Structure 1
Amino acid sequence: MSILNQEHTRLMESVKELLKNSLSKKSIVLDIWTTPGMKESYIGGNAYFVDADFKIRKLFLGLVEMPVGHNAIVVREHAGKLLTNLGIQESDVFVVITDNASNFKRAYSEALNEKNLVDAESDELDEDHENNEEVEEVESNDEDDEVESNDEDEINDDEVQNELQEVEALETEYNGIYPTRLSCAAHDLSLVMSTVFEKKSILSSSIIKMTKKLISRFKKSHAATKSLAIKTKEVLSKSLVLLLPGPTRWAGHFYMINRLLKIVNPINEIALTKGWEILEERHLKVLRGLHALMKPVADLLLQSQSEEMGISKYSVSLNTNLMSVFESDFPSRDKGGCPTLLSKNVRTSN
């Protein structure tokens, strides 16, 4: 066995021991990556848990190759391989966090166990009824009555053990109350952006279409792209290219506009030499308005993907940033044509 293989074996055993001695169940984050052309597909993820020293740890689970056509059964099977490779059983998992892909949703059902919920509500009602009876009984007693002690107050070890077993059984029984899968907060936020800016037609305006068409011209022209890279390096000390939004790139429209506004002058210079349409000030006014409107959400998306971004800090940041946008007078007329686009959508949706 080579030194590399020996070190890998030693490291795997060390990781398994770390997981075995952990003080908590594991929260698992999963994602699927597919190569361009749908030729290869892999599932990977991280595990989060509390170790024996009461420290929150993050562990990369690795990658497992899977068939390109991955349905819910295939996803669950190959995710299971990721876990078993490190000695993690599904019973050790508290929650699985994924994006909103349908195969993940089906693999890890979000639905609550209706039977357990009904039983839980019934138990709560019975408990309230018993508590009310106890209160009435206490109130009916004379305040000066002395409480007599007897041998029944002594603690019986067998009864304690039976009670502990009942608690463990209840924990297992009510495990279905919690969802097996949670949706990724950053992914949900990106869906909010796409819903507001795409499905509400704000980003389907003629100006956005014109912008995408101009960017596509650069993408198809090697000479124009090379010329843009040279000009941007002269101005910004680094070569930049134009971006088009993709379905898997979160806040793609924001980054498209953000990059374009940085290098609009060289873009227009090259476009003029090619005889293409250019972005005039009236067009840029609308793009600046959209950029300002999308920036708070795009910034939150970036923060939410940071390893240092705890969920409580993320929640506070989300509320603070979004409320500052909603409570301000923005968008105002000096921000460009964005208010016109927004008001148009409000009118058409009502």
Structure 2
Amino acid sequence: MDSTIAAVLLLDGIGNGAVYALLGMAIVLVFAVTRVILIPQGEFVAYSALTLAMLQLGRVPGTVWLALLLAALTVLRELWDGVRTKRAWPATGLEIARLCALPVAAAAVTYVASGHQWPLALQGVITLVLVTALGPLVYRLAYQPLADASVLLLLIVSVGVHFTLVGLGLVFFGAEGYRTPPFWDASFAVGAVTVSGQTIVTVLTSALLMGALYLFFARTLAGKALRATAINRLGARLMGVSTEHAGRSAFSMAAFIGALSGLLIGPTTTMIYDGGFLIGLKGFVAAIFGGLASYPLAVGGALLVGLLDSFSSFWASAYKDVIVFTAIIPILLLRSLTDRQHDDDE
């Protein structure tokens, strides 16, 4: 390996690591707020890339029908809970409107957009809104009824949600793979290395989003409410913070981050209906580096995962995923020796 190849692999690792960093932060956020290990995080990535690809081809994305299906199931769930708890109809209707207005509106706009060749940036925004709207619906249907369950039970539910979303992805998108066009197709020569505009967009977008998340948690009331829920759910509830709203907000942010990651990685990776699983799993490895609690350590772990992925693909491409996932073993061993807490709900 000469210096030119090393530089190319380094750039590739940083670009992939930026995406893994976003996914790792989303997993840390969801776990801190809801105690859910979000295994289906990768499905938001796949849905986003496939939705944009369908819009580019002038076809109606399967995400439209998925959003309407989840919205219909949410309406039925809210009506059932309203009858069971004898809740007044205005409250039930308001809750249904809060949960379903955005998914239905986003699905309608996406349906209209599929018949027109709108600019790529506008199609990306539509994709972001539609996939983000799936987050609170998934939380309401699968996780909110079990919000006080153990971490192990929530993990089992996450596995079930993952397989369900993968199956729905096969139904709504088919088994064919797609690749989306880059948002910036320029290229720049830096010495003997060529840097693509898409790599620059990926790194800058990831950095800007990380900064925005820092300001959100540090300066806004909603961010402080999420931090309070992450620190002490019962204490936050006693202080008037709705843990249900916090859970939906966390899932909305995770879905947005996953959708953005799908747009960023779509031009460099051929995406299929289950292609988001490995990408999300590498984000999970990054989150483990941060102990599912530290955002900076998760970002650092993501960059390490990206570099391992890139360099191992050169040295031993057949075993690159094995090498990446094996890196988690010493981290888990170290944490098992240093962590004195044994109660999984703590």
TM-score range, shorter chain: under 0.3
**Taking CA–CA contacts closer than 8 Å with sequence separation of 6 or more, which of the two structures ends up with the larger relative contact order?**
2
The normalised TM-score by structure 1 is 0.19
In terms of fraction of residues, the more helix-rich structure is 2
Q: Normalized per residue, which structure has more strand?
A: 1
- TM-score normalised according to structure 2 size: 0.19
